[in-house]
Amino acid sequence: MIVTLTANPSLDRTVALPGPLERGEVQRAVSVRQESGGKGVNVSRALVTSGLETLAVLPGAESDPVLAGLREEGVPFASLAIHEALRTNVALTEPGGVTTKINEPGPVLAADAQEALISLLLERSRGASWVVLAGSLPPGVPADFYATVTRRLRNADAGAGVPKIAVDSSGAPLAAAVAGDATEAASGKPDLLKPNAEELAELAAAAGFSSASTAEELEADPYAAAAAAAAVVRSGVGAVLATLGSKGAVLVTADGAWLATHPPVTAVSTVGAGDSSLAGYLLAASQGAAPADCLRQAVAHGAAAASLPGSTVPAVHQTTPDAVTITALRKD
């Protein structure tokens, strides 16, 4: 089973526009979609769609629309009751897939609620193969929350082994997840990290990578992306799955580096495409696939998600892994 933790879940509303966004003008929407969201929630949604056992752990009142949406989709979840409504995020999509997102901060999660959420995760992740810590952190939560959760998971007596841990976040929470001493017995560093190109550039710089690169440069040069990811792996992270937008993705482990590309698709919405990529990787990993084939399914899932409206997640039968080209890369 794969357990996801989404500390700052959301109700995701996607508004499709008939043409380019015109600032300061009145525009009529072509359509509006609404789904339960947040990175971890999206991963669980994608896994359920493909028939894999998963559980989404998140805060939220029983009557909250986010939890109602999960019930409607048949996504198993365990929630920590809170009094405030969860946030609503709005995505404006233009023809061609250009997406503008407006994300609310979310309700404040006090220290006692943070501890209760961690305890709920520890309880419900016993026997899990993977735990995914994903998304932004709500107000009141320290930046090192994911590193703390990782250490707590590795120190817990789960009775069925310690799950592997994947982190998909950004900014300070992502930086804190890879900081610290990797030689500690229960390191806060994850087994898998899933940055995009911008996040990878920041992480590589923090890891002391001497060749500074921008997100645009990393997307244009997969060898540079692999070298940057290798610097992060050397800092103690188990593996880096770096999504590069329409350029595909690279996977770097201690044993190798690979690039995966997919033929161009007609982009409808990029909302949640990275989350679907992570779900595809975990789906393949749960079936015992080799690293390069996990990468293959990750890119197939991401491409399929980009071709669907809103934050719709693809089922595995909607993906085309046979169309993905895998290339072995040198890491540095």
Length of the chain: 332
Task: Judge contact between 81 and 101, C-beta under 8 A.
Answer: no
**Distance from C-alpha of 16 to C-alpha of 271, rounded to nearest angstrom:** 12
The SS3 assignment for 202 reads helix
Task: Judge contact between 7 and 58, C-beta under 8 A.
Answer: yes
Structure tokens at 304: 């399929």
**Distance from C-alpha of 42 to C-alpha of 40, rounded to nearest angstrom:** 5
Task: Judge contact between 283 and 52, C-beta under 8 A.
Answer: yes
The amino acid sitting at 135 is G
Composition of the chain by helix, strand, coil, percent to 5: 35, 20, 40
Please give the angle made by the CA atoms of 310, 55 and 300, to the nearest 5 degrees.
Answer: 45
CA 131 centroid distance within chain: 12
Structure tokens at 31: 């359509």
**Any catalytic annotation for residue 275?**
yes
Q: Where are the beta strands (DSSP E) in 177-255?
A: 192-193, 239-243, 249-253
Task: Judge contact between 233 and 240, C-beta under 8 A.
Answer: yes
Query: Which residues touch 322 (CB under 8 Å, ≥6 apart)?
Result: none
Which H, E and C letters describe 251-317, residue by residue? Answer: EEECCCEEEEECCCCCCCCCCCHHHHHHHHHHHHHHCCCCHHHHHHHHHHHHHHHHCCCCCCCCCHH
Choosing from 191, 275, 322, 332, which is the catalytic residue?
A: 275
Which amino acids are annotated catalytic?
A: 275
